[in-house]
Amino acid sequence: MPSYIVMGAQWGDEGKGKIVDVLAEKMDIVVRYQGGANAGHTVIHGDTKYVTHLIPSGVISGRSVNIIGNGCVVSPTTLLEEMDILRRQGVSFSPENFIVSPAAHMVLPVHQYLDKVLNEKIGTTVRGIGPAYTDKVQRTGIRWERACDGSFEEAYREHLDFVEKVYAIIEKKEMRTLRDGIPELVRTVESLKPFVRDARPVLAEAVKNDSNMLFEGAQGTFLDIDHGTYPFVTSSNTSIGGAYTGSGIFLDFKKRIGIVKSYTTRVGEGPFPTELFDETGETLRRHGNEYGATTGRPRRCGWLDLALLKQSCIINGFNYIVFSKISCLSGLKTLQVAVDYHPDGTPVYRELPGWEEDVLGCTDYLALPENCRRYIEFAEDFLGVPFGLISTGPDRDHVIERQPVF
Ligand code: IMO
Ligand code: MG
């Protein structure tokens, strides 16, 4: 059984965690290739709810090797905290089942501080993501390889001197706090050293053996630094290209899975053509419990934007779509879907009839109300990609399989 990639097709929070969880269980290798703790995947397994931000979801089932690829940015403190929480939930980590690439960059407290003072207008998650990638591209970053050769402390001290020279915005008091934090940070980095090693031979071997591999995308296509709604984006390639640059391996993904929420949401600032500011937007937020998993912020809500999704399909070459949260649309009289844009950028809508019936947990496609099926099929025809899985609720078995996932 070969390789899978799961990507968000919109602006994140499409419900990637659930499908990743279903897939991860059967995988030999699970890879995160971009982003950092700005992601938030919620996985419900039995009675336990696991929230991962950095660590690939494969750790939960315990049968796969989990890799944080070179394309990620990883805070030592956040990583250790996340490992500790998962350990308390019974997850175990060893250098065999968990690998951090030495070429991944560190997110350090100074990045988190700079994110707060420099990026307000983007509405970031304040996890230090942008400033860490800035350092990477500027070639002043600190990579995880520093954990291995004992040179981390020196590198970070030098880095703080550099930052102090460059950024007048950082107060003296803050610089002191950052420097005072060094000894503890050094201990944290030291404790993570066993997990840092070159993941590429592991990946190459897995490809050779035709192992089951899952590449777990974070964020969504329109948060991509190149293809998204710049500058209101994250600082990595969230679309398919990021899987290659962020891991160092070529694979011909058997399934390129796009997760599409059956309406649209966005957190933070930036364009959102189908955004609803009325009662209907409120209803969607309430039905979908649209509050950020990472920051708790209320998400902006709006109609499904098929014109935008068409672009997402082109960028990522999706050949399988998971259509999520369909149960949140019940009770709306009519539904609008954007199929194009007017010259002024406002959406051209197509109106479709809604349905009253509760479809939560439905597992049989034909048991869905006719208008619900019409909605699904309209979107499917428009995008020209099979909607293989329809998610009808938060639980693992709240799902309609129209086309086998495996
Ligand atoms: P998951 O993996 C939704 C958004 C932020 C902000 C912009 C830049 O849960 O889908 P950043 O902290 O990355 O520099 O913020 O990107 N953003 C997300 N929105 N889901 C996410 O991840 C996100 N990660 C970042 O809200 O607008
Ligand atoms: Mg999120």
Q: Which domains are seen in the chain, by residue range?
A: 3-101+200-219+237-254 (3.40.440.10), 105-192 (1.10.300.10), 256-401 (3.90.170.10)
**pTM (2 d.p.):** 0.96
Which residues are annotated as catalytic? 13, 41
Distance, in Å, from the CA atom of 256 to the CA atom of 67, rounded to the nearest integer, reads: 19
Tens-place pLDDT, residues 215-224: 999 999 999 9
Distance, in Å, from the CA atom of 336 to the CA atom of 304, rounded to the nearest integer, reads: 7
What is the pLDDT, as a whole number, of residue 216?
Answer: 97
Decide: 182 and 52 in contact? Cβ < 8 Å.
no
Token output for 108: 């350090």
The set of residues, in sequence order, having a beta carbon less than 8 Å from that of 236 and lying 6+ positions away, is 34, 35, 71, 73, 129, 133, 219, 224, 225, 242, 246
Decide: 102 and 196 in contact? Cβ < 8 Å.
yes
Which residue CA neighbors atom 25 of ligand 1 most closely? 38
What is the pLDDT, as a whole number, of residue 1?
Answer: 62
Mutating to test ligand 1, I would choose from 38, 113, 289 the residue with most ligand atoms within 8 A of its C-beta, which is 38
Cβ of 39 below 6 Å from ligand 1 = yes
What is the pLDDT, as a whole number, of residue 140?
Answer: 98
Tens-place pLDDT, residues 367-392: 999 999 999 999 999 999 999 999 99
The answer, yes or no, to whether the previous bond of 394 is cis (omega within 30 of 0) is no
Cβ of 362 below 6 Å from ligand 1 = no
Q: Give the mean model confidence (pLDDT) for residues 42-54.
A: 86
* DSSP string for 349-386: EEEEE---S--TT---GGGS-HHHHHHHHHHHHHHTS-
Q: Given pLDDT bands bounded at 50, 70 and 90, which one contains residue 344?
A: very high
Which residue CA neighbors atom 6 of ligand 1 most closely? 124
Residue in the structure block whose two tokens are 């950092």: 36
**Average pLDDT taken over every residue of the chain:** 96
Between the CA atoms of 314, 71, 111 and 50, what dihedral angle is there, to the nearest 10 degrees?
A: 80
Nearest to 132 by CA among 117, 142, 122: 142
